Amino acid sequence: MFTARDEQVSGWFLSNYNGVVHQMKPLNDSDSEKLLRTKAFSSMDGCLPDNLRLLCDEILNMCRGIPLFITSMADWLKQHQQQYGSSAVPRVEQVRLLLKQFEHLLSFDYSDELRQPSLYLSMFPQGYVFENKDHLAAILEYEGFIPEWDLSPDFGKRYFSWLLNRKIIIPAAENCGLNIDEDDLCQWQVNPFILRFLASRAAEMGLVFTSSTLTLAPSGGGNTTRIARRLALHHPDPQLPAMLQQMDLSQTRSLLISGAVDRTTVALDKFGYLVLLDLEGWENLKDEDLLQICKMFMLMYLSVRNTRVSKLPPQIKELRILRALDISRTNISEIPSEVWELKHLKMLDLRGTWIRHLPEKVKELTSLERLDISHTKISDLPSGVCRLPSLETLDLRGTLISQLPDQFVQIKRLGHLIVGSAGAGSGMIYSDQTVLTKIPETIHQLRYLKTLATIDLSEFSARSVQFLGDLQELRVLAITWSFHQCSDKDHQQALRSSIVRWRKLKSLTIHCGLGCSMEFLGSLIEPPNGLKKIKVIDGKFASVPRWIRGLKHLTFLQITVCKQVADDLKILAGLIELQHLVLGLEFIPEKAIVIEKEGFKELERFSLDCPVPWLTFEKEAMRKLTYLRLTLHAFPASDMSVPSGINNLKELTEVTLCYNVRYTNSPNIKMTTDAVSKEVAKHSNTIDLFINGIRKDVIRSSDKKEESATGSEVDAAEDGAQAADEATLRTTIQVQSEIEVEGETESHT
């Protein structure tokens, strides 16, 4: 058995050895308790004393569903009971110490320059959300973590990918799950299973100290005074004031405070050299605190995101070297004029505030590189924005700005323009968009644009569409395409010629008029061979375009076809890097659509919208598929034309069924939901089944057998112990996968 945290490593073994890759999930609360009590006390029966029950709850809370930790703690608890008697209950401190020892045994080397920033992630509380990939990159830059040997502007994104590949950073669960076609809207968070471990390692290295690791802070100067260069306080603790009193805070450069930490606990006047101050989500932050902060520090980074702050003090101008100011999701409704005196400001984030007007004086921020005014009530873009010489990113999503001024094309360094215009499922935009922002037809003059989403081309002339081909640096493009343009030959030819010229394009999204035929793209010649994502929303093809077979790097495809063509499935199955497929079929299959074991080697998520989803999955089909979504319709069908073979999808963990509630009593709907439920019940995995967004409890076949079986309490205990041992063996992969950042492999016997 080989274990690895890097999926690329596991893929290499799969291609070179005859085996399977098994991705583990943490145990739920019920299974965690069952494993602990069965292993420690040989039975789930009987009531535990209150003090022992509370200790078990604490153990389960700290183990967070990781079976290796649970079973190890259960063994220790069992030995403790045997040695000292059943009335002897260990202290919580002993549990914490033991878990720390377990983690230390699974530790790894963090000497590499790329891995030290990973330890810095322990600064953020569990559940902290990064709303975009640039957010983390900016913080790492101000902290000085970007290696001197790699100062390229794309380092942040590449490092973010490094974290994603090792699952140190994962999608935030609340917004990534059911909607497969909205992957670009994903927010990100630190993997909760590794966060506490990172905090422990960061404290041991003296890099970062949190509320829970302050006791590990080293002494300085030969006395009891402790030094913390980076400090994160996210949880109120009665001992926190005393611990902070013993620390030399004058050398702390970075401070993060959030949650319900009391204001009186943190004496800001004891911090003498703060460079980065992040107060995101600090419930007790007051307007007067900001005034004190501006008077005391020379910050480079200041964030009061998601707090109750209602105004910025005029003294903000005292932060003369401030590089980044984040006041997003606050109650601030006006920007004081003193902000425009911050000549070194590179990032200004105003999203989700109550601000209605952006003054012309914004032009004085000559160093500004990123401006985010998304989801505000701003209705006019001042011409001063067009005179920002350093502006590279402008986010206008969810605003009331209906048109950009003609002088907008004067922003010569602009690389990323995000305006949004099409609504839910559009990838680069949000679903609450209310205004279409018209873009000047001279937009092609911005030759450095890399991201352009989502622009409305419905009023663009064919000539202007053709000029868009001049944007040679485009990587991400999302457009709207009207019904008229779909049928106009000049517009068809203009779009085809532009697509061919975008040789660096990685992502293409086209929002079409409802029912538009996009068949004219079927004759596309030499599309950009580096395309990784294609979305055609509401538009239709007669069949899968043949040129798609040549896109060897395609990872995401959304397409709707109107005819059943034999080669279509082979084309899709042959896309060697395809991970996400959103497929619409506007026909009733004449026979079962068979998914064979060949092809779809990398597919992880599959969404199908079909009047009759007559799918049959053969054994070993879609080996990596974890998510299956079926959109159902009220069409007549036989009891044979229902999905089958779902239990052959070995890595499946979630199935979603969607249909219009008006058709709840439709025979086809009932037949399909019943068939899928039975397939899920037969699956060897525990599958999460959602129907119209509501989770359904499915009694697995194995559970039914267990309920009907009879035997003595001793036999039940032995079975439970055996199941626990098997769970431990299976989840060794998961623990290593979650903790071994190196991606190295180990052989276990």
DSSP 579-629: -EEEEEE-S--SS-EEE-SSS-TT--EEEEE-SS--EEEPTT-STT--EEE
d(CA 613, CA 376): 42
Residue 373 inside a domain? The answer is: no
CA Rg value for the chain: 28
Residues 51, 89 contacting (CB under 8 angstroms) = yes
Residue 522 inside a domain? The answer is: no
Of 62, 89, 107, which residue sits at a domain end? 107
Residues 558, 536 contacting (CB under 8 angstroms) = yes
Residue 296 inside a domain? The answer is: no
SS3 content of the chain, % helix, strand, coil (to 5): 35, 15, 45
pLDDT at residue 431, rounded to an integer = 37
**Per-residue pLDDT tens for 434-491?**
467 888 999 999 999 999 988 889 889 999 999 999 999 999 999 999 889 988 999 9
Candidates 647, 635, 704; CA nearest to 680 is: 647
What total of structural domains would you count in the chain? 2
The most confident of the ranges 39-48, 63-72, 277-286 is 277-286
Give me the residues paired with residue 508 across strands: 477, 534
Residue 627 inside a domain? The answer is: yes
Backbone angles phi, psi at 671, to 5 degrees: -60, -45
Q: Write the DSSP assignment of 67-103 as a string of letters.
A: HHHHHHHHHHHHHHHHHH-TT----HHHHHHHHHHHH
Using the 8-state DSSP alphabet, how is residue 218 labeled?
P
Task: Please state the three-class secondary structure of 407-470 as a single string.
Answer: HHHHCCCCCEEECCCCCCCCCCCCCCCCCCCECCHHHHHCCCCCEEEEEECCCCCHHHHHHHHH
Using the 8-state DSSP alphabet, how is residue 345 labeled?
-
Residues 122, 210 contacting (CB under 8 angstroms) = yes
Residue 312 inside a domain? The answer is: no
Candidates 567, 719, 608, 661; CA nearest to 38 is: 719
693: domain range?
588-700
The most confident of the ranges 100-104, 497-501, 700-704 is 497-501
Residue 612 inside a domain? The answer is: yes
Residue 375 inside a domain? The answer is: no
d(CA 247, CA 481): 61
Query: In this prediction, what percent of the chain has a pLDDT beyond 90?
Result: 40
Of 700, 720, 744, which residue sits at a domain end? 700
**Per-residue pLDDT tens for 142-192?**
787 765 555 555 666 677 777 777 667 877 754 443 333 444 546 788 876
H/E stretch holding 746 reads strand 746-747
* Backbone φ/ψ region at 740: left (φ over 0), alpha (ψ -120 to 50), beta: beta
Of 84, 107, 130, which residue sits at a domain end? 107
Helix, strand or coil, per DSSP, at residue 259: strand
H/E stretch holding 509 reads strand 507-512
Residue 541 inside a domain? The answer is: no
**Per-residue pLDDT tens for 511-520?**
988 778 999 9
Provide the whole-model pTM. Answer: 0.76
Query: In this prediction, what percent of the chain has a pLDDT beyond 70?
Result: 77
